[in-house]
Structure 1
């Protein structure tokens, strides 16, 4: 499909704790799902109506994968920025299904209805960050993974 590779930003709730595994080469890979709920105002009844939620499978790699696994839990409201991939497959029953997947460039907690304490992490081997720190904070009162330091000292402003 034409949308494969397009960048997307979603805000939603993690539907399960991230699953962390390691590839044969030792690269950390975390995956979890995010439900995005939409509401719209019904002008006739003057009430909010829930639309059908959309579900996205999210994959993270390298240091970010480990930070996400330590920081995000089921129910956490998250912001995900990444590249979209539409995958079609057949179930064992022969039914054709479509899966919307996001290869995450950034994952962060939504601070709209929560607070987070961000802890900078030391860069681990395994990369996946392309030379930049990446990671997210956590919901539910847990300390989160590192923030994007961009090579600046803690006491130096990044601009």
Structure 2
């Protein structure tokens, strides 16, 4: 959408994502990403940490359940989303403004770690929630993690070299 501020943040989770449900049963996960720049100080011949950015983030619906079931405190993540500004009144009656990240995509950084990805079973709700929440279910996928469920990997253009000739199959 025009005028939205889209950013990508790389940092570490400061705590496990907190999964809650709205009064309508809609899942939402909230968490904080700490991103600290590191610069090399040539004079001291060492790396120095800059000032950390602590950015509150949220995800909704089935996505929230996936995040809460997959990510934990301390994990280095990459998150992309839209900055949202909201105003509220604190307990003392002061007007406050908060800037938060509404996450569109998030995943573990593989710079210093490895990950095993499994496809989550769809609840058939089309992502709309439908007023009822179900816990995220994971299924072990016997095919490649990125293949279409129920498809045979032998039909995959990339699984058998030369099986589709020299032409791109799509």
* Segment drifting more, 34-43 vs 11-20: 34-43
For 1:137, the equivalent position in structure 2 comes to none
Alpha-carbon offset, residue 61 of structure 1: 1.1
Distance 1:22 1:13, change over 3 A: same
In the alignment, structure 1 segments of 5+ residues that lack a partner are: 130-142
For 1:36, the equivalent position in structure 2 comes to 35
In the alignment, is the contact (CA less than 8 A) between 1:41 and 1:49 conserved in 2? yes
For 2:17, the equivalent position in structure 1 comes to 18
For 1:135, the equivalent position in structure 2 comes to none
- Number of residues of Structure 1 aligned to a counterpart in Structure 2: 139
Between the aligned partners of 2:113 and 2:152, the Cα distance in structure 1 is 24
Distance 1:154 1:23, change over 3 A: farther
Q: How does 1:8-157 map to 2 (within 5 A)?
A: 8-89=7-88, 91-93=90-92, 98-124=97-123, 125=125, 127=127, 149=146, 153=151, 155=153, 156=156
3-state secondary structure, aligned to 1:118: coil
In the alignment, is the contact (CA less than 8 A) between 1:38 and 1:51 conserved in 2? yes
Alpha-carbon offset, residue 18 of structure 1: 0.6
Between the aligned partners of 2:25 and 2:64, the Cα distance in structure 1 is 12
In the alignment, is the contact (CA less than 8 A) between 1:28 and 1:126 conserved in 2? no
Alpha-carbon offset, residue 45 of structure 1: 2.4
| Runs of 4+ residues over 6 Å off in structure 1 | none
Distance 1:94 1:75, change over 3 A: same
Q: If the length of structure 2 is used for normalisation, what is the TM-score?
A: 0.69
Deviation string, structure 1 residues 14-43 (Cα, Å, up to 9, x no partner): 001111112233321111100001011223
In the alignment, structure 2 segments of 5+ residues that lack a partner are: 130-139, 159-169
Task: State the structure with more CA Rg.
Answer: 2
Distance 1:25 1:149, change over 3 A: farther
